[in-house]
Amino acid sequence: MSTCFLGIGSNQRNPARQLRIALKFISALPTSSMLRVSSFYWTKAWGYQGQQVFCNAVVEIKTRLSPALLLKACQDIETRQGRIRRRKWGPRVIDIDILIYDTRKIQTETLVIPHPWILQRDFIMKPLQEICPLFHKFLI
């Protein structure tokens, strides 16, 4: 099984509730198990300013899903929760990003792993360090 870290965030429709709903869906992913969930972190919007604050967390999972199938599963969860992609870095009901997938490096049109801004975003770094202080071993 592969070790993966997912970043989840929301700033719409009761953001903390949206994260809890996403966690239920993530815990039900096929051939996967949820290991750890960080605390929820409230942060200002990144990229597109002038919107509500975000509630963010990081989830560690073990999975047999390939990176492509995990991406599809995450996007399916976003759709189930009502995400509509209107504006890059804009408001959203839920966002689920694959941050790390073992030590794999992937760069396609639809998927970049590790997440390209993982080290520049406090709303990723703080919860990731909380649940995996040695996460750098995955970025080798």
- Choose, from 95, 102, 121, 122, the residue flagged as catalytic: 95
Asked if residues 8 and 23 have their Cβ atoms less than 8 Å apart, the reply is yes
In terms of DSSP bridges, do strands 32-37 and 106-107 run parallel, antiparallel, or are they unpaired? unpaired
- Choose, from 85, 92, 121, 122, the residue flagged as catalytic: 92
The count of other CB atoms within 10 Å of the CB of residue 13 is 14
Asked if residues 12 and 93 have their Cβ atoms less than 8 Å apart, the reply is yes
64 is a catalytic site residue: no
102 is a catalytic site residue: no
- Choose, from 20, 83, 87, 122, the residue flagged as catalytic: 83
95 is a catalytic site residue: yes
92 is a catalytic site residue: yes
- Choose, from 36, 97, 104, 122, the residue flagged as catalytic: 97
CA distances from 14 to 25, 39, 72, 108 (A): 17, 16, 24, 33
Closest alpha carbon to 130 in 62, 36, 54 = 36
Q: Known catalytic residues?
A: 83, 92, 95, 97
